[in-house]
Amino acid sequence: MDERKRGSSKQSLYFPMEMLSEIRSQAKRLDRSLSWIIQRAWTLAKAEIRRMPNSDGRV
């Protein structure tokens, strides 16, 4: 599918070296791209993140 139709865009993200090394290691183990690993991690974590309280304490 064309990236424009999926709403994909380029974005720079910065990770601590230790975290990036672990992400790279898992990407290699799973034979997947770094992008796929990050997207999958977000998919798995987003419900938990949404349950976190806002800075004013509201969920």
Query: Mean pLDDT for each 10-residue chunk of the chain (59 residues)?
Result: 67 95 98 96 94 82
Q: What is d(CA 26, CA 24) in angstroms, rounded to the nearest whole number?
A: 5
**Structure-token pair, residue 59:** 């969920």
| pLDDT value for 37 | 97
| pLDDT value for 3 | 52
Q: What is d(CA 41, CA 37) in angstroms, rounded to the nearest whole number?
A: 6
Q: What is d(CA 3, CA 10) in angstroms, rounded to the nearest whole number?
A: 10
**Share in percent of the chain as helix, strand, coil (round to 5):** 60, 0, 40
- Amino acid identity of residue 35, one-letter, is S
